[in-house]
Amino acid sequence: LPSPGALMIQRDYRAAPANYLISPPFPPDPRLNAALLRAASPAAVKLVLHGTADSFYASQGRAIAGFDDANQELIPRLQAMGVATLEMETGHLFYLGTLNATVHAAALHIVIANRLTDTFLIDRAQRDALDLQAGLIALKALLEISAEE
């Protein structure tokens, strides 16, 4: 769970060579986040600082032949900040929640790849099982929230 929050990683397209802008972390909705924590098995959950990238490639530190994204220092920079996971949506949703009190966002991620080794950690059957498990945890948390209202 990105319980400490999610920060945003954006390539600064005006800079040459490329530079990456990194926001401060935006927090999840505390009530939804707590419900996710209660719904999940404590052994299966790790609370981490999360990074939301503006692309699948450059802003996630991927090196692509033929593209000079100047991102060689991005992953070490994110690691030094404590970022443990990357994807492309969560930070935006958390940010919207800081702008509008009617937007409530929390997240539960499954880890399927290791950016440092460029390897997949699970096979398709394991991913399907984790998708189902994560979905059930999210539904359980939402049912708890709706029962409180």
Instruction: Determine if the pTM surpasses 0.85.
Output: yes
Q: Give residue 117's pLDDT.
A: 84
| pLDDT lower than 70: segments of the chain | none
Distance in angstroms (rounded) separating the CA atoms of residues 133 and 122: 14
Identify whether the C-beta of residue 52 lies closer than 8 Å to the C-beta of residue 8: yes
Q: Look at residue 46 and give its three-state secondary structure.
A: coil
CA nearest 50: which of 101, 96, 92? 92
**What spatial distance separates the first Cα and last Cα of the chain, rounded to whole Å?**
24
CA nearest 21: which of 33, 9, 29? 9
Distance in angstroms (rounded) separating the CA atoms of residues 99 and 108: 21
